[in-house]
Amino acid sequence: MLKLTKFNGLSATGRPIQTSWESLTQQKLNITPTKLNAPATGFYELGGDGKRKNQNVLKKNCLVVDIDHPTMTIDEIAGNIKDLQAILLTSWSHDPENNSSKYRLIINTDRAVIPEEYKNLFRGFVQKYPFLLGQIDTSVNDHSRMFFDWSISPDRKHLAKKVIVKGDPIRVDEILKHHKNNQLSQSEKQDIGVTVDYAELLSQGVEQGDKEFGGRHIALTKLIGHLLAKGFPHDELINLCLTWNLKNKPPLPKEEVIRAVEDLIKLNKSKETVDENSSGLFNLLTIKNLQKMPPMKWLVKKLLPEKGLACVFGPSGSSKSFLCLDLALSIASQPKWFDLKVNNVPVLYIALEGVSGIGRRLDAWIKYKKIIPKYFFTIIENFNLSQKKDVQKLQDSIKKINFQKGLIIIDTFSQASPGMDENSVQDMTLLLSHLKQIQEHSDSLVLIVAHSGKDASRGLRGSSCIRAAMDTVLEVSSISETNKQWTVEKSKDSQDGGVYKYQLKEMILGLDEDNQQITSCVVKSGEHLSFIKAKPSGKNQLMAYKQIESQLEVSPIKGLCSTDQEQPLLELEDAINHVAKGFISSEKSKRRNQAKNVLQNLIANGFVKLGAENGKEYIWI
C-alpha cells in the first residue's frame, strides 16, 4: 500500500491516506475552471505537526516528474518508458492548441524512499532515461511538493488524456547505484549550464551511445541549435550537418538528419515571427481575424470582465466595503451575485480600512450563506501602491501561491496611496501603471474601492484619468441607513446605468464578555431596476449633455454610423455650435473651444457616442 497525503487545493495541512497502485491508476478526471478547485496529492507520509513542510516528510512513495517542455507526444513518451509501472497524464495547464503541452509522469517505486535519497533517485532516473533532459521541471525534487490531481478546465476537457504503462516499479536501489557510478554526461552538463565544446563535436563526430555528448540524436539537436544561433544560412546548415554526420559511428540516416534540420528551422522561424510581432511590428488584423476572436469572458456576466481594472466608489458610510466583500466571497464560492452569473476564481482582498471589523464581517457572511469559501485570501498589512518595492512584494506573494486568473480587491484606493494627490494626473498615472502591472502579472481583474468627492453628485473623487482607465465603474449610494443601491456608472463592454438595490441585514454572532451582542451586517440583494442611462455630473458637462439631448429630440438625421434605424444623431459641428451657446459667461472667442473640450470629455467618458459616415462626424446618446 502507498502512504500518501491528500490536500484541498493549496491547503498547508493534509490528511493521510493509504491506497493501492491500482486505485491510483483509476483516478477520475476533475473538470474545473481553475486548478485550485482540484484536489491535490502529496506522494509522501507526513510527521511532525502534519503541515506541508520539507522537515515533516518522513517517507516518499513514487517518483513524480512534470514534463513542461515536451518534444514528444504523450504516446511517444509512454513508449520510451514501457519497462516502468507508471501513469502518464495531461496536467491542468495542458493546451496543445496553443503550443503548450504539459504532462505529468507518476512512476511506482519498489519501496518507500527517505527524503535524503530522493534527489539522487531523481537524478539517477534522468541519467537512465536521458531523453527527458531539457523537458522536465527540475523543481519536482522538492520533498514536500504536492501535485494537483488529474484535472483540466471545461473548455479543454477534450484534450485530457491518461496512459497507463504496465511495466515494473522502478528499482530504487538500482537507480541510486546507477547515479553513484555515473558522472554527468556532456549533454547533462549542458542542461545545468556547462557549455558544449562545438569545435570538438564538429571535428570528431559521436559514437552511438556516447556518454560525453549524450548520443548522436541529442548531439545533432544541440549542433543545429548552435548553428542557427550563429546565423548559418539554411542550405549551408544542412550541408554542414550532413558532413558532420559522416563522422558519426555509425552515421544517422541522411533523411533523418535533413528532417531534424528542417523541423528546427521551422521552429526557429515561428519563434522569430513571434519576436518580430512582439518587438518591432504591429499585428494587423482583418475583419475576419477580429470576427474569429473569442467572445468576452466575464467574472460577473455583463458586469465585471475576466481581466482588467474596475472601481467601486461611493461616499463614506455608504456600505461599499460590505458590498465589495460580498462580491469577493461570492466570486470565490457562489454561482451568482445579485442574480448575475459568476465565474468562480480565487480572490485576494487587501483590507486597508476597517481591519478590526473584517473578521466579524466574514463570520456574518459565512453564517448567512452557510459556506466557507476555500480560495479567498486576505492581506491586512500596510500596502503602498506608489512604492515599487510593495508592488513587487505583492507580486512575489501571489506568485508563491500560484494565484492566477482571479480577482484582487484593494480597499481602499486612498489608504493604498498615502501622500499621493488624487487630483494630480502625474501621481494618479503612476498608481494606475502599478495597478496595470499587478493586473498583467496575475492575469486577473484588479478592483479598487474609492470615495466620491465632497459633492457626491460629481462622481468619483480625484483626477478624471482614474475613471478613464477603468473597464467598469460601480457607484454605491444610500437610500436610508439600511437600504442601499449600486449603479453601473460605466461599462466598456455592456450597458451602463443598471441599478441594483440591497439591504444591510444585521447578523447576531454571539455575546461578548459583558454579555452584549456581537453583531455585523451582510448584504441582502433586492430588486434590479432595468436600464437607466447614466448622466454626467459636472456643471459644464451636464449643461452640454442637456443641449445635445434637446437637439437630438428634433434631429431629422437617423440610423447612420451603423446605429439603429430610429437612433437620432447630430453632426458634430452642429453640436459644437449649440453647446457653445451655453457658455454665456465666457468671451465669445473662447466659447467654441470650451464646447469642443467639454464634448471631448463627454465622448471620452462614454456619455456621448462618436461615429463617422460619408466624410462627416456624428454624435448620439
For the segment 68-76, the average pLDDT, to the nearest whole number, is 81
Burial class (CB in 10 A: 0-12, 13-18, 19+), 537: middle
Q: Which residues pair with 91 in a beta bridge?
A: none
User: Confidence class of residue 192 from pLDDT cuts 50, 70 and 90?
Assistant: very low
Q: Which residues pair with 485 in a beta bridge?
A: 477, 501
User: Confidence class of residue 442 from pLDDT cuts 50, 70 and 90?
Assistant: very high
Torsional sign, CA 507, 511, 512, 517 = positive
DSSP 37-100: GSEEEESEEE-TTSBS-GGGEEEE-SEEEEESS-SS-HHHHHHHTTTBEEEEEE-TT-BGGGTB
Q: Provide the residue ranges of all domains of the chain, joining segments of one domain with +.
A: 2-182, 192-279, 298-529, 539-620
Per-residue pLDDT tens over the stretch 11-37: 788 899 999 999 999 999 999 888 778
Q: Is the pLDDT of residue 430 over 50?
A: yes
Q: What percent of the chain has pLDDT above 90?
A: 38
User: Confidence class of residue 533 from pLDDT cuts 50, 70 and 90?
Assistant: low
d(CA 540, CA 462): 17
Q: Which residues have a Cβ under 8 Å from the Cβ of 403 and sit 6 or more positions away?
A: 346, 348, 377, 442, 444
The pTM is what?
Answer: 0.47
Residues making up the chain, counted from first to last: 621
d(CA 602, CA 609): 8
Instruction: Show the CA angle centred on residue 22, arms to residues 84 and 2, nearest 5°.
Output: 85
Chain position carrying cell 441582502: 524
Cα dihedral: 72, 172, 89, 60 (round 10): -140
For the segment 578-592, the average pLDDT, to the nearest whole number, is 89
Q: Is the pLDDT of residue 163 over 50?
A: yes
- Region label for 497, one of left (φ > 0), alpha (ψ between -120 and 50) or beta (otherwise): left
What's the chain's average pLDDT?
A: 84
User: Confidence class of residue 135 from pLDDT cuts 50, 70 and 90?
Assistant: low
> What amino acid occupies position 596?
K
105: phi then psi, degrees, rounded to nearest 5: -115, 120
For the segment 335-343, the average pLDDT, to the nearest whole number, is 91
Residue 187 has which C-alpha cell? 549533454
- For 17, the 3-state DSSP assignment is strand
Q: Is the pLDDT of residue 597 over 80?
A: yes
The CATH number assigned to the domain with range 539-620 reads 1.10.10
Q: Is the pLDDT of residue 272 over 60?
A: no
Domain 298-529 superfamily per CATH? P-loop containing nucleotide triphosphate hydrolases (3.40.50.300)
User: Could you give the C-alpha distances from 115 to 143, 147, 148, 524, 558, in angstroms and in order?
Assistant: 6, 17, 21, 52, 76
Highest mean pLDDT of the ranges 111-120, 121-130, 458-467: 111-120
CB 585 within 8 A of CB 535: no
Chain position carrying cell 441594483: 500
Q: Is the pLDDT of residue 211 over 60?
A: no
pLDDT of residue 275: 46
> What amino acid occupies position 37?
N
Nearest CA among 490, 460, 507, 489 for reference residue 322 = 507
Per-residue pLDDT tens over the stretch 384-396: 999 999 999 999 9
pLDDT of residue 440: 92
For the segment 302-323, the average pLDDT, to the nearest whole number, is 92
d(CA 427, CA 424): 5
